[in-house]
Amino acid sequence: MALSLRLIAPSDFPKLYALDQACFAPGIAWSKAELQYFLKYPGNIGVLVEDETGRLAGFAIAGKQRRQGAVFGRLITIDVDAALRRRGIGHRLLEETETQLRAQGATAVLLEVAVDNTTAQSFYERHGFIRTGRIPGYYLGRIDALVMEKPL
C-alpha cells in the first residue's frame, strides 16, 4: 500500500470526523463544531496520510500559542486508523507536524493525554516527550490528563 502525506483540505472534514469518532470514546472525541474550529483556526497545522485510493489512514492537527514570549506548539490530536497502527503512520504525522511547527518558530510542543491512554503515552515517550504536569478531571470531569512536552 502506497501512503502519502499532504495538508488537510476543507473537503476532508467528513473522513476526519469519522476517524476521530472511531478513535475516542463519546465525550472525549471532538464534536463536529470543535473539529471544524481547529481546522479553520488561522495558522493551525493539519496534515493527513492516505492511500492511493484516497482512504484516510491518519491525521494530525496542531496549533500555536505564546508562553512567556516564546511560541510553542500544541498538538490538538493525532489519530491513526486502528487497522493501520504500528506501521509508522503516527510517526510520519508527528514528524511533519513538528517540522512545520519548528519552521513557524515554535521552540517546544506540548499536549494533553488521558492517564488511561497508555498507548499514546508510549508513542509520545518514544518520540521524546516527557511528562510535565497533570490536570485533574480534564476529560469528562473525571479522567485526569497528563501534560507532555518536548523541545523542538
Ligand X SMILES: CC(C)(COP(=O)(O)OP(=O)(O)OC[C@H]1O[C@@H](n2cnc3c(N)ncnc32)[C@H](O)[C@@H]1OP(=O)(O)O)[C@@H](O)C(=O)NCCC(=O)NCCS
Query: Can you give the binding site for ligand X, defined by CB under 6 A?
Result: 23, 77-80, 85-91, 111, 113, 117, 119-120, 122-123, 126
What count of residues does the chain have?
152
Minimum CB separation of residue 48 from ligand X in Å reads 13
101 HSE (CA, 13 A, CB side): 30
Minimum CB separation of residue 127 from ligand X in Å reads 7
Residue 61 CA: distances (Å) to CA of 12, 66, 103: 13, 17, 16
Minimum CB distance to ligand X smaller for 20 or for 64 = 20
| Residue showing the smallest CB distance to ligand X in the complex | 90
Minimum CB distance to ligand X smaller for 27 or for 105 = 27
Minimum CB distance to ligand X smaller for 56 or for 106 = 56
Minimum CB separation of residue 141 from ligand X in Å reads 18
Q: How far, in Å, CA of 109 to CA of 51, rounded?
A: 28
Please tell me whether residue 19 adopts helix, strand or coil conformation.
Answer: helix
- Residue 44, burial from CB neighbour count under 10 angstroms (0-12, 13-18, 19+): middle
Q: Which of 24, 76, 11 is nearest to 50 (CA)?
A: 11
Minimum CB distance to ligand X smaller for 97 or for 100 = 97
Minimum CB separation of residue 117 from ligand X in Å reads 5
